[in-house]
Amino acid sequence: MSELQVLPGAEEFAFGEGPVGALLVHGFTGSPQSMRTLGEYLSERGIAVVGPRLPGHGTTWQDLNTRTGEEWMQTVETAFHHLASQTEEVFVVGLSFGGTLAIDLVARHQDEVAGLVTLAGMVFSKDPRRHLAPVVSRLVASLPGLSNDVADPEGKEIAYDRTPTRAAHAVLRFARRAQAALPQITTPTLVMHARQDHTVHPSNAQYIHDRIGSTDKELVWFDRSYHVITVDYEKDQVFERTFNFIKEHSKHAL
């Protein structure tokens, strides 16, 4: 079977070098493109960044529907260990479901992670269809997508216009796993979310902040953006706060 072609702009990336690394994990149905500009911003400030492409993303929604939570987790795990082998400390930054994967990773590698940043992070869904997910995933291959929840008309996310139902069911199962892991995490944490997020309910942010075991934690809200805060009106503030968090918690001068 030939490998599917990756959509132009959706490729994984690696920028910069130095003792401080940042692993940037994109969201469900999206691609590394949503994290690329943040990666460029951080690399310009002396941070080595890696943005892996989760299996089934940046190709077709049909491809994504064949993938599993285990595959996504292993991809993030592999990228993390590679970055850790090249740097002296690693920060993990996850957008949306990428935040879910980041929480899971950090819970399993407490001593190896210098800090955690969740951007519109998800640990539960309030979509009423979630209760039917096990049934729907067997009856319907896809549903209308939730991509490009962006207020800025110039902001664009490379993402599918359909939501593959089997993969979505896997996301919900993985979210429960991440939610259960929160109290175990004592790593410094920055939580950022938009109040007008239409994809991941904003209450996720407060839940993550309140339940995570870390005593060094901060919750930041944005008022003008929607879900994909890395490409929306307040992206510059998102970038700056992410960098400042890394700078403040790094043992190296940046």
Q: Catalytic site residues?
A: 96, 197, 227
Largest CA distance in the chain: 54
CA-based torsion, 37, 142, 126, 212: positive or negative: negative
* Pair 21, 89: CB distance under 8 Å: yes
> Cα separation of 160 and 123, whole Å?
21
The structure tokens listed for 244 are: 């400042």
> Cα separation of 29 and 8, whole Å?
15
In this structure, how many other beta carbons lie within 10 angstroms of the beta carbon of residue 197?
22
Quick one: which of 159, 167, 83, 180 has its CA closest to 133?
A: 167
Strands 48-51 and 13-15: antiparallel
